[in-house]
Amino acid sequence: MPTKIEHIAPKLPKEVYENIRKGDTRAFTLLVAEYEQWAYNFILQLVKLPHEAEELSQALFIKLWENRTKYDTDRAFEPYMFRIARNLVVDHLRKKARRSAHRQEIWLGMQKLHNPTEDDLKLQEYRTILSEILDSLPEQKKRIFLLSREEGKSNQEIASLLGITPKTVKNHLWKTLQTIKTDLAPHISDLTLPALLLYFLGS
């Protein structure tokens, strides 16, 4: 069984293709009868599922009809049809792969929600510790930290809101980060600490 239309010798006279370009539906019926079995077999080899091969075969002939005026009858028809069939299959497989990947992501997310891993539990524990550390800070330091890390405000914006200088904001943030680092250290390993600080605190 051939796997490329280029390997099939032309079977219809040029007049048939010229009539199709003019909108002759009877001529197009001849073309479908000539190539529909090949198209189905070729596509089936690629997509493996009969119902998908059937749908794509129909899509191929619909596209051939819709684009009939674009075909140059002085050129071989088979390579032209092959390119359209190949592109349809490639697009179909890409969409199918994206849908499959999306379903897999959803499934993994659901699994994670219902079966939290040890790492998830540790992160939750670290968040609790961080919250306790922040609650122990002076009110202004805590507010500056939250404005910076949770609301994403710049030092200049925080300074304007609180009526202090950007340098004061920077100093408060640095001291707060040092406090958090010191208080978190007993709970985690030296290797984990830098990554954890980056995860929770940002740059």
pLDDT grade for 18, boundaries at 50, 70 and 90: very high
Q: Which CATH number fits domain 118-201: 3.40.50.720, 1.10.10.10, 3.40.50.300, 3.40.30.10?
A: 1.10.10.10
Per-residue model confidence (pLDDT) at position 2: 44
Domain boundaries, the chain: 5-112, 118-201
Cβ–Cβ under 8 Å, residues 56 and 92: yes
Query: What's the mean pLDDT when you consider all of the chain?
Result: 79
Share of the chain above pLDDT 70, in %: 73
What does the pLDDT average to over 100-114?
A: 55
- Report the chain's terminal Cα–Cα distance, integer Å: 61
Q: Given this structure, which CATH class describes domain 5-112?
A: mainly alpha
Cβ–Cβ under 8 Å, residues 98 and 110: no
Per-residue model confidence (pLDDT) at position 190: 46
Higher pLDDT, 69 or 123: 69
Per-residue model confidence (pLDDT) at position 81: 93
Angle subtended at Cα 104 by Cα 100 and Cα 107, rounded to the nearest 5 degrees: 140
Higher pLDDT, 106 or 32: 32
Among the ranges 43-57, 112-126, 144-158, which has the highest mean pLDDT value? 43-57
Cβ–Cβ under 8 Å, residues 31 and 18: no
Does pLDDT of 33 surpass 50? yes
Q: Which two tokens stand for residue 188?
A: 């985690």
What is the Cα–Cα distance from 100 to 89, expressed in whole angstroms? 16
Angle at which helices 25-47 and 50-66 pack, to 10 degrees?
140
What does the pLDDT average to over 60-82?
A: 92
Task: Choose among 176, 184, 22, 4: nearest CA to 89.
Answer: 4
DSSP codes joined into one string, 5-23? GGGSPP-S-HHHHHHHHTT
Convert the pLDDT of each residue in 126-173 to its tens digit: 678 778 888 888 899 989 988 887 777 888 889 998 999 999 999 998
Task: Choose among 56, 13, 18, 48: nearest CA to 34.
Answer: 13
Neighbouring C-beta atoms of residue 29, cutoff 10 Å: 11
